[in-house]
Amino acid sequence: MKKIRVILIGESNVGKTSLINLLGNKYFKVSNFSGTTVEKNIASLKYKNHEIEFIDLPGIYSIDEYAQTEINLLVKRKIQENKYDIILNIASATILDRNLNLSMDLLEQKSKLILAINMIDELGDASINSELLSDILNIDVIQISTKNSTNITPLLDTIVKVYSEDLKINTFKYPKALEQELNMIESFLSTNSNYLTDKSLDVALAYIGVKKSELKDRYIAMKLLEKDTEITKIVSFLHFYNPLKKLLDNARSRIYNYYDTQDLLYLKKELKQNLAHSLFLQTTENFVHKSTLTNKIDKLLISNLSGIAIFLFIMWVIFESTFYIGSIPMLYIEEGFNILGTFLGPLIDSPNLKSLIIGGILPGLSAVMMFLPNILILFLGITLLETTGYLTRVSFLLDGVLQKFGLHGQSIIPLIIGFGCTVPAYMATRMLESKKDKLITLFSLGFISCSAKLPVYVLFISAFFKPSASGNILFGIYIFGVLVALLSAKFLNKTIFKASKETYIMELPQYRLPSFKLIYMSVWLKSISYVKKAGIYITLISMLIWFASSYPKYDVVDSNTRFYKLEHSYLGQLGKSLEPIFKPLGFDWKMSVSLMSGMAAKEVIVSTLSILYVVEQNNSNNNELIKKLRVSIDFASAVSFIVFITLYLPCFAATIVFTKESGEIKYLFYLVFFTLSFSWLASYSAYNIVRMMT
């Protein structure tokens, strides 16, 4: 069975990820942001004695020399590595005039290329002559719809056909003035075709990883006109370089005079855009960019006043729902763990094993799984906003605000992703071209509350605030984190990293009704990821916490001895050593220990507190934990704890990704110092302010 490797390249919002989901029966998140696929997604299927592997690369707008963001460079590197058989260029039928600009870039890549025009179900009365487009570009063109699964089988047939064919010369003609000079240089290279046998060429080509069979005279001619460093270095070793150099100088001089510019790269880009637009006009009929329902809705949603008010209201509704709807299944999950503990207890003879399972693992898992319904509702809300295209409008709305705080406009994308998980949020900073912009965004992201912190918020809000105010308090916590992120960005921009001021050009896609299947699978996969994380991290750390809180062993005589045993355990000794650091914040040693365990994963904080505060009674009931917290912790300490949780370091996995994305280990130490110092000061302030007020 032959394997066909296909890479998907296209702009954002054209349906690449939707197509790979459909083809490979995979369900990756589909969002309306450039570069949401921050690395690559892979899916495969078997078709007609072939295994077709699809590699979904991030959405980009160009691969020319002007596109230097890390995501653009990633895609360009994947193309240059040549570890694929076919490029599948995905374009949107609704914005084909602009999408063809990227297609023009891909035509020059010396690769087998297929153009798939997606979303034909949204064309209305318009039509696209794909046969004419195919003839002009000399590539296969097919119209599809991932929403309705239209022409998916013909697309697979086309992939198999193109794979079995020889590489076509995918070229197009530039305007006459440039084309004449290009042809003259190409002709000169052809008359000296024996240069391909020059041994010095082998060494140079091996250095840049280009095969001699891939070298075409036209490609070399254009690169030489552009003053490409690597190609120029290659031909400089050849015997006819001097007359070629003179020819190139004269050609450039004529081009510069004719077009009145010496920036040939920009000129080439502009000419290709003109060609793409001309090609669009030739191959489409009844295509009118008209005011649609999307435009009418946007008049309301992207207005500075009404737009921001609507966004805040939507987020408030999500957080209110998180509490009120999520509280219903919580009772059943809690009762289920109680029944499980009651059932398992009599079956376990070993006192130590019984204590481990009933007093360690079950309370830890119960304390986290209790909040799975809350997590599900948050995931559902964010997924709905993403897939409908609404969050892109939020990016547009908040762009001006971010600029005032020293953040690049594109920083809004990782910041929004951070509400779900900090790991992909850190990775999404690759779309920022400036190193300083990226670093400011990376440092600010830690203050955005990820979904892993939600169980801690829900627990403490349930314990210390009235039920009627729960949703508002949760909403306020998230807003507080955002404000701190913005202020930290302003501070870093004015002091350590002075970031550039650049215009953020953003596409606002049409509003679309998301597929129920896509929503279901997106939320389901996130939930499974959460449960797996709970199963691994929380079980292991719960066992560690149980062991550290149970040893060394003491003879239990009464309740006072039981308290003495816990306080003088290994865990108690660790907590006592940390107490001087956290006591000014109102934290006892148990709260201090839970913060340390939360460095691995924030969900572990709840399970740690559950084990430490309920361990004497071997009870996994979450209501019991809430009662214990109310008795053991005063209100000022609870507020201080929430503040610290909101602001301190993200989980271990996110910290590792931060180090990788920042590029230098020193930034990790800066992050630790910056985040912990600020968290301590903020919690100290909150603790003392609340004490004075109450």
pLDDT tens-digit profile of 453-475?
Answer: 888 898 899 889 988 888 889 88
686 or 298, higher pLDDT: 686
The DSSP secondary-structure symbol of 150 reads: B
Rounded to 5 degrees, what angle do the CA atoms 328, 333, 339 make? Answer: 135
User: Does residue 393 register a pLDDT over 80?
Assistant: no
Query: pLDDT value at position 618?
Result: 47
Distance CA 191, CA 171 (A): 21
Query: pLDDT value at position 27?
Result: 45
In SS3 terms, 246-260 reads as HHHHHHHHHHHHHHC
Distance CA 314, CA 478 (A): 13
Q: Are 142 and 130 in contact (CB under 8 A)?
A: yes
User: Does residue 36 register a pLDDT over 60?
Assistant: no
Strand pairing category for 127-128 and 284-285? antiparallel
Query: pLDDT value at position 116?
Result: 92
Pull the structure tokens for residue 686: 């909150």
In SS3 terms, 423-455 reads as HHHHHHHHHCCCHHHHHHHHHHHCCCCCHHHHH
Query: pLDDT value at position 575?
Result: 76
Mean predicted confidence (pLDDT) in 574-585: 85
Indicate the helix (H) or strand (E) that contains 514: none
Mean predicted confidence (pLDDT) in 238-257: 84
Mean predicted confidence (pLDDT) in 79-87: 78
Top-tier CATH class for 2-164: alpha beta
Of 121, 132, 124, 146, nearest to 10 by C-alpha is 146
Poorest-pLDDT segment among 164-178, 275-289, 614-628: 614-628
Distance CA 450, CA 607 (A): 18
146 SS3 class: coil
- Residue 244: pLDDT band with limits 50, 70, 90: confident
Quickly list DSSP for 85-122. SEEEEEEEGGGHHHHHHHHHHHTTSSSEEEEEEE-GGG
The DSSP secondary-structure symbol of 59 reads: P
Distance CA 266, CA 262 (A): 9
- The residue behind tokens 């495969």 is 44
Poorest-pLDDT segment among 258-267, 364-373, 429-438: 364-373
Distance CA 202, CA 211 (A): 9
Distance CA 432, CA 426 (A): 11
Q: What does the pLDDT look like over 176-202, one tens digit per residue? A: 788 888 888 888 877 776 555 555 555
Domain spans in the chain, listed from the N-terminal domain onward: 2-164, 176-259
- The residue behind tokens 């990790």 is 668
133 or 346, higher pLDDT: 133
Mean predicted confidence (pLDDT) in 609-621: 62
Mean pLDDT is highest, among 28-37, 415-424, 596-605, 633-642, for 633-642
Neighbour-count burial of 417, counting CB atoms closer than 10 A to its CB (0-12 exposed, 13-18 middle, 19+ buried): buried
User: Does residue 205 register a pLDDT over 90?
Assistant: no
Average pLDDT, rounded, for the chain: 78
Residue 660: C-alpha distances to residues 132, 183, 650, 652, 654 (Å): 47, 46, 15, 13, 10
Q: What does the pLDDT look like over 298-334, one tens digit per residue? A: 777 777 778 888 888 888 888 788 777 877 787 777 7
Give 491's contacts (C-beta < 8 A, 6+ positions apart).
Answer: none
Give 311's contacts (C-beta < 8 A, 6+ positions apart).
Answer: 394, 397
648 or 216, higher pLDDT: 648
Q: What does the pLDDT look like over 253-282, one tens digit per residue? A: 888 888 887 777 777 777 777 888 888 888
- Residue 358: pLDDT band with limits 50, 70, 90: confident
Neighbour-count burial of 203, counting CB atoms closer than 10 A to its CB (0-12 exposed, 13-18 middle, 19+ buried): exposed
Query: pLDDT value at position 79?
Result: 72
Neighbour-count burial of 239, counting CB atoms closer than 10 A to its CB (0-12 exposed, 13-18 middle, 19+ buried): exposed
Based on C-alpha coordinates, what's the Rg of the chain?
A: 30
Distance CA 305, CA 324 (A): 29
Query: pLDDT value at position 135?
Result: 86
Distance CA 176, CA 159 (A): 34
- Residue 293: pLDDT band with limits 50, 70, 90: low
116 or 48, higher pLDDT: 116
Residue 667: C-alpha distances to residues 71, 406, 602, 659 (Å): 21, 19, 22, 7
Query: pLDDT value at position 610?
Result: 79
Quickly list DSSP for 613-663. HHGGGT---HHHHHHHHHHHS-HHHHHHHHHHHHHS---HHHHHHHHHHH-
Q: Are 522 and 29 in contact (CB under 8 A)?
A: yes
Query: pLDDT value at position 286?
Result: 75
Quickly list DSSP for 180-228. HHHHHHHHHHHHTGGGGG-HHHHHHHHHHT--GGG--HHHHHHHHHTT-
Query: pLDDT value at position 639?
Result: 94
Rounded to 5 degrees, what angle do the CA atoms 80, 81, 84 make? Answer: 105
Mean predicted confidence (pLDDT) in 552-559: 56
Query: pLDDT value at position 194?
Result: 59
Query: How many other C-beta atoms can be found within 10 angstroms of the C-beta atom of residue 500?
Result: 11
Q: Is the dihedral of CA 584, 587, 588, 591 positive or negative?
A: negative
Query: pLDDT value at position 35?
Result: 43
Query: pLDDT value at position 641?
Result: 95
Rounded to 5 degrees, what angle do the CA atoms 523, 525, 528 make? Answer: 110
Rounded to 5 degrees, what angle do the CA atoms 225, 226, 231 make? Answer: 85
Of 76, 69, 115, nearest to 92 by C-alpha is 115
Q: Interhelix angle for 304-324 vs 372-388, to 10°?
A: 150
User: Does residue 656 register a pLDDT over 70?
Assistant: yes
Q: What does the pLDDT look like over 496-535, one tens digit per residue? A: 776 555 555 556 666 777 767 667 777 777 777 767 766 6
How far apart, in Å, do the first and last CA atoms of the chain sit?
Answer: 74
User: Does residue 60 register a pLDDT over 60?
Assistant: yes
Distance CA 99, CA 284 (A): 14
Query: pLDDT value at position 196?
Result: 54
Mean predicted confidence (pLDDT) in 66-74: 62
395 or 176, higher pLDDT: 176
Report cis status (omega within 30 of 0) of the bond before 580: no
Distance CA 622, CA 351 (A): 23
274 or 448, higher pLDDT: 448
Query: pLDDT value at position 559?
Result: 47
